Amino acid sequence: MLERQAIAPDGAAHRRVLRQFCEALLFEAYPALHIEHDGGGNFHWRLGKRRFQARGYRGAFGRIRLEDDPIMTSGPRADRPANCEDLLQALHLDREAEGSLRMDLTRTAHLTDLTRATANPQRQRAQLPFAQMEAALHEGHPYHPCFKARSGFSDADHMAYGPEAGGRFQLHWLSLDPALVAQTLPGADTFWARELGTPRWQALRQMVQSPRQLLPVHPWQLGQLRAQPLYQAWQAAGRVQELGAWGDRYVASQSVRTLMNADAPTRAHVKTAMAMRNTSALRILEPHSVCVAPAISNWLAAVCDSDPLFGTELRLKLLKEYAGVIAGRDTPLAGHLAAIWRESPEGIGIASDAVLPFNALCVIEEDGHPLIDPWIRSLGLERWLDQLLRVSVLPVWHLMIAHGIGLEAHGQNLLLEHDGGWPTGLVARDFHESLEYVPELLSHPDLLPDLSAIDPVYANAPPDRFHRMSTAEALRELVVDTLFIYNLADLSALLHGHYGLPEAEFWRRVRRLLDTHANRHGLQARQRLFDPFAPRILTESLITQKLLPRRNLCRHRVANALHHAKGDTDVHPE
């Protein structure tokens, strides 16, 4: 049973958690919430018998932007500042959902405070090398209120394995019964020697009896596994043998479970399974996605290679996932013992000081200025913005309308290449679960790999369950959700608040860019198939899904900023 634990109502971290909680409930029009007034810079809403009010505005796509002023609630005698407990009690969730949410909100606020108290503040983070930048982006998800929940993490775990502390640690290695393992390793005979280096591989191989298989495990995850009866039974039967910590040291990226090689940055990033809940998801690896990861990456690369626009007008690079190993694929521990290897930016020739995660564009430094402020001051707001939009939007959009492939292009999955702040290219990553396609819209259906030959779960899977979508609208929803609603909308709000650029003007520029590209390359009809400029569109309801987990995918309709941006966007080919 989850322990009932109150959330401390004071402190900047709690205020941020509360603000994002309210913003999400208002934006998603949560079923039990009734908005009584929305206008003039004020929001008044009711949950059950309790009323709340706050100052703010509706931004692009209807995103709610509340001010840092206290959020007020009605008390017995007078209004008073609200806290997360007021919301939790007013929501009337079932006991299990309320306990889980309370724990996640509590840990988020606590770990945020712990990070601020222990981390060394970085000045001018834009100048940091890539790995240090990943660790320095301590802000977490700008929308979800459980942005640093990390269920199961103690304070010591946070300091040892959280990206904020920059701790370096080795992976632990397991020797496994081959009957437990499924894997896709390029050049299987030489894979481990290449990944570990020949001397280390030879030393490790002396501990491993053929034909046993190897799997690296996150040290925190190993502690979780040791408490599992099935893992204990495998150990007792000799099917799993722990070999200890070996090899290079790694440091956590901002996703926590993806690890960057601290000793040899050109070597792969390793995405590990962690039975840790962050935001709304358990961070294990979906079993069906592990062994197909290389095939999906290679397919996407082949599609890009088939189009001469990529690499010239559309400068898109891919961090390919090239290997995957999973143990216990069809057992209760499915997804808890797995790893995926992904190319690093340095490994494909990108200088570490010339690339940064896309979500870095929207963070604020300790002095109150945006991280991107020096770039905007020196390069000019409109000039810089137009270049950023060309570099970041068009490659993802072109993949969708020209090739029928959608990327989950949120702020952590995209990297921006730049030259002293001037945007020069886009780098995409993390395809094994999130890439989607519509068969009828593929430009080169002959390139599509047979995923069922790698994992039989794909053989009879219905559309809209894994990667294969049934409609163009489903593909558009993925791209618009991640690239626009939960990514660039944060940038449009930042540019409005700090530089006075109206959000409507931001989205007019985006709309003009999309229409110009479609017209220039004869893609007008293809673009219309996706109906991207409809007045209202569906978007995923992230917090509603967490509060009502037994529902199917929760979505709600929002005003489409691209529709409202129409006006001066009727352009012609140059």
Do 249 and 338 fall within a single domain? yes
- Transcribe 245-314 into DSSP letters: EEEEEEEE-TTSSEEEESS-TTSPEEEE----EETTEE-S--HHHHTTHHHHHHHHHHHHHT-TTBTTTB
Residue 410 resides in a domain:
yes
Last residue of a domain, one of 122, 147, 180: 122
- Entry pTM: 0.93
Predicted pLDDT of residue 570: 39
Is residue 475 within 8 A of residue 403, CB to CB? The reply is: no
220/158 Cα distance (integer angstroms): 10
Number of structural domains (the chain) is: 3
500/332 Cα distance (integer angstroms): 53
Neighbouring-strand partners of residue 50: 47
Vertex 213 angle, CA 209 and 218, to 5°: 120
Neighbouring-strand partners of residue 66: 56
510/561 Cα distance (integer angstroms): 10
- Nearest residue to 266 via CA among 149, 171, 376, 344: 344
Q: Is the CA virtual torsion 162, 17, 62, 32 positive or negative? A: positive
- Nearest residue to 133 via CA among 495, 374, 487, 416: 416
pLDDT in tens, the chain (574 residues): 334 445 556 688 999 999 999 999 999 999 999 998 887 899 999 998 899 999 999 999 999 999 988 999 987 777 899 999 999 999 999 888 899 899 999 999 999 999 888 776 667 888 899 999 998 899 999 999 999 999 899 999 999 999 998 999 999 999 999 999 999 999 888 999 999 999 999 988 888 877 899 999 999 999 999 999 999 999 999 999 999 999 999 999 999 999 999 999 999 999 999 999 888 788 999 999 999 999 999 999 999 999 999 989 999 999 999 999 999 999 999 999 999 999 999 999 999 999 999 999 999 998 899 999 999 999 999 999 999 999 999 999 999 999 999 999 999 999 999 999 999 999 999 999 989 999 999 999 999 999 999 999 999 999 999 999 999 999 999 999 999 999 999 999 999 999 999 999 999 999 999 999 999 999 999 999 999 999 999 999 999 988 887 777 788 999 999 997 765 443 333 2
Is residue 280 within 8 A of residue 554, CB to CB? The reply is: no
Residue 154 resides in a domain:
no
Residue 197 resides in a domain:
yes
Is residue 272 within 8 A of residue 326, CB to CB? The reply is: no
CA 523 to chain centre: 29
485/290 Cα distance (integer angstroms): 28
554/247 Cα distance (integer angstroms): 43
Give the helix ranges, DSSP H, for 427-521: 472-479, 489-499, 503-520
36/49 Cα distance (integer angstroms): 13
Residue 564 resides in a domain:
no
Do 58 and 207 fall within a single domain? no
86/98 Cα distance (integer angstroms): 12
Do 215 and 98 fall within a single domain? no
- Transcribe 137-197 into DSSP letters: --S--SS-TTTT--TT--HHHHHHHSGGGT--EEEEEEEE-GGGEEEE-TTTTTHHHHHH-
154 — phi, psi (to 5°)? -80, 175
Residue 177 resides in a domain:
yes
493/364 Cα distance (integer angstroms): 13
Do 172 and 317 fall within a single domain? yes
C-alpha distance across the termini of the chain, in Å: 65
DSSP one-letter code for 210: T
519/517 Cα distance (integer angstroms): 5
Is residue 84 within 8 A of residue 21, CB to CB? The reply is: yes
Domain range spanning residue 49? 12-122
Do 192 and 276 fall within a single domain? yes
Residue pointed to by tokens 């007078």: 78
Is residue 562 within 8 A of residue 515, CB to CB? The reply is: no
Here the CATH number for the domain that contains residue 512 is 1.10.510.40
Do 302 and 365 fall within a single domain? no
Do 285 and 428 fall within a single domain? no
Predicted pLDDT of residue 431: 96
Do 204 and 90 fall within a single domain? no
Residue 260 resides in a domain:
yes
Here the CATH number for the domain that contains residue 105 is 3.30.310.280
Residue 492 resides in a domain:
yes
Tokens describing residue 529: 């198939």
Do 174 and 59 fall within a single domain? no
**What strands, in cross-sheet order, belong to the sheet with 213-217?**
181-184, 321-327, 338-342, 269-272, 258-261, 240-252, 169-176, 213-217
Do 403 and 464 fall within a single domain? yes
Residue 92 resides in a domain:
yes
Do 394 and 532 fall within a single domain? yes
Last residue of a domain, one of 310, 342, 374: 342
Return the biggest CA–CA distance within the chain. Answer: 75
Predicted pLDDT of residue 7: 56
Do 496 and 526 fall within a single domain? yes
Question: Residue 468 contacts by C-beta under 8 Å, 6 or more apart in sequence?
Answer: 436, 437, 438, 439, 461
The bridge status of strand 422-428 relative to strand 316-318 is: parallel
- Nearest residue to 371 via CA among 128, 12, 553: 128
